[in-house]
Amino acid sequence: MSSNIRDLVSFLDSAKSVYHGIDSLKNKLLQQGYSPLQEHSAWDLVPGGKYFLIRGGTSLIAFRIPQQQAKGFMISASHSDRPTFKLKENGELTGTYVRLAVERYGGMLMSPWLDRPLSLAGRVIVETEHGVESRLVDIDRDLLMIPNVAIHMNRKANEGYAWNPATDLLPLMGGKEAAGKLDKLLQELAGGKVLGHDLFLYVRQKAAVWGIEEEFISSAALDDLQCVWCCAEGFLNSQQSAAIPVLCVFDSEEVGSSSLQGAASDLLDGTLQRISGALNLDHRRLLAQSFMVSADNAHAIHPNHPEFADPGNGPVINGGVVVKFNANQRYTTDGMSAAVFRNLCKKAGVPVQSYCNRADMPGGSTLGNISITHVSVPSVDVGLAQLAMHSCYETAGVQDALYLADAMACFYSSALEVTADGNWNIQ
């Protein structure tokens, strides 16, 4: 396994919750000399400076200031969250056993969550002398299980079963004497009185690289942490161009992006405006020479069900970066943005595939078309081909991750110069 893929695997394993994924990315940026900014403080940005900010613990924006006068922003957007289950308030259900009360976050495949060790991670808010403080928490052991009903009691289990999240999917934590122990454990781990929490279930199974040629990678949250890792790699390994490279990782994509820190918030717009203001540059002129890559995984042709793929536009795993198209703008790609991205991939020596939904299937959407209603720049939707999207353990390609990292390094090393509407020099 190459050192790059080892790094991807360790990133995936570190990201036990949306908070832990962003924390892991923060540590990588700190190691590479990026300075943290606070939204409530004044920003003193200098040429050659490297910066990042975090909002809500779950969204992050990093950028660099070029030495020369900046021409525009080269932006990528991917998402930090995944479908999972969130612990409710009054989270213990007591009785014959102690189970946890959880509710769905996003639209997951439910059956993969059963019969496998699970635990809880996220953040807790503890009381301090002067107010409250957020702390990361990971109950780093096999703590929970959602047991199936035996075939003898559900003879129709293999004929398709409608899971009820209120009754079928409550994780078992202990016998009846376990009552009250979760709160105690959280308090111990947090080191203070817990006044609030945002805690999510995660699967204990680590990421795996497998297949006859070790060509596949499986993990929780490949959608979209695989793209997060690739965009971050490309961002960190790029040469400085005349543009301002901007790495965005947003929370809340799986629930519509409308949160304090999601792609529908003012986080990106506000940040870009502050950068233009700090550099004394005309914001509208910068935006007119900017470009966004919205990176979120795509459905590969399924080995057992090729009929779900579009006949001419079904991507294969390890076939290259996927450009996603949708006439109704669920994906932002148009002919122009596809052409710019294909040009960059050609420079990077990276193969490109295309994805369309079958004309009779609505498919999904992503954060690009939400983000550009706030920051209106030309945008392309891309991703990596994967299987079992929104399972708690998904499968994608090893080589594809390297392809997207290379494509993003080329993207972030480039700047656009608009010569007329629809005509661009890519430098």
* Shortest separation between residue 184's beta carbon and Zn ion, angstroms: 36
d(CA 372, CA 26): 25
Site stretch for Zn ion (CB under 5 A), options 64-72, 133-141, 220-228, 416-424: 220-228
Return all residues near 193 (Cβ < 8 A) that are at least 6 apart: 126, 127, 187
Q: With contact defined as beta carbons under 8 Å apart, do 374 and 264 qualify?
A: yes
- State which of residues 81, 233, 251, 296 lies at the interface with Zn ion (CB under 5 A): 296
CB of 278 to Zn ion, least distance (A): 32
Q: In whole angstroms, give the CA distance from residue 305 to residue 195.
A: 48
Q: Cite the DSSP H helix spans in 209-295.
A: 222-236, 267-278, 283-288
Helices 222-236, 3-14: crossing angle, 10 deg rounding = 130
Whether 246 and 269 have beta carbons less than 8 Å apart is answered as: no
Quick one: tokens of 312?
Answer: 């001419």
Contact between 224 and Zn ion by CB under 5 A: the answer reads yes
Least separation, in Å, of the C-beta of 19 and Zn ion? 18
Binding-residue pattern over the window 85 to 104 for Zn ion, x denoting contact by CB under 5 A: --------------------
Q: In the complex with Zn ion, which residue's Cβ is closer, 83 or 91?
A: 83
Looking from the CA of 13 toward its CB, the CA atoms found within 13 Å total: 13
Q: Counting contacts by CB under 5 A, is residue 406 touching Zn ion? A: no
Span from 163-171, 294-302, 322-330, 404-412 in contact with Zn ion (CB under 5 A) = 294-302
394 in contact with Zn ion (CB under 5 A): no
Between vectors from CA 263 to CA 262 and to CA 265, what angle results, nearest 5°?
65
Nearer to Zn ion, 252 or 318 (CB): 252
SS3 string, 373-396, reads: CCCCCCEEEEECEEECCCCCCEEE
CA separation for the pair 300, 388 (Å, rounded): 9
How near is the Cβ of 291 to Zn ion at its closest, in Å?
21
Contact 415, 239 (CB under 8 A): no
- Dihedral in degrees, nearest 10, Cα atoms 161, 164, 167, 169: 80
User: How many residues of this chain interact with Zn ion, rule: CB under 5 A?
Assistant: 3
Can you state the angle between helices 335-348 and 398-412, rounded to 10 degrees? 100
Q: How far is the CB of 81 from Zn ion (least distance, A)?
A: 9
Tokens of 145: 């299980």
- Give the per-residue contact string, 240-279, with Zn ion (x = CB under 5 A; - = no): ----------------------------------------
CB 253 → Zn ion: shortest distance, Å? 6
Let me know: does 20 contact 82? Beta carbons within 8 Å.
Answer: no
Q: Closest approach of Cβ 17 to Zn ion, in Å?
A: 16
Q: Report, in Å, the least distance between residue 322 CB and Zn ion.
A: 13
Q: Which range touches Zn ion (CB under 5 A), out of 141-149, 265-273, 292-300, 399-407? A: 292-300
Which region among 54-62, 211-219, 293-301, 313-321 touches Zn ion (by CB under 5 A)? 293-301
Residue 274 or residue 390: which is nearer to Zn ion going by CB?
390
Quick one: 23 or 224, whose CB is closer to Zn ion? 224
Q: Which is nearer to Zn ion, 296 or 406 (CB)?
A: 296
What lies within 8 Å, CB to CB, of 7 at 6+ separation is: 229
Region of 35-43, 127-135, 230-238, 289-297 interacting with Zn ion (CB under 5 A): 289-297
Between residues 241 and 332, which has the closer beta carbon with respect to Zn ion?
332
Smallest gap from Cβ 297 to Zn ion, in A, equals 6
> Cβ–Cβ contacts within 10 Å for residue 336, how many?
14
Cα dihedral across residues 304, 307, 309, 311: positive or negative: positive
Residue 110: CB minimum distance to Zn ion, A? 18
User: Is residue 81 involved in binding Zn ion (CB under 5 A)?
Assistant: no
223 near Zn ion, judged by CB under 5 A? yes
Lay out the site mask for Zn ion across 338-377 (x = CB under 5 A, - = otherwise): ----------------------------------------
Q: Of 143 and 221, which has the nearer Cβ to Zn ion?
A: 221
Burial group, residue 142, by CB count within 10 angstroms (0-12, 13-18, 19+) = exposed
Using CB under 5 A, which of the segments 27-35, 96-104, 215-223, 417-425 binds Zn ion? 215-223
Interface residues toward Zn ion, by CB under 5 A = 223-224, 296
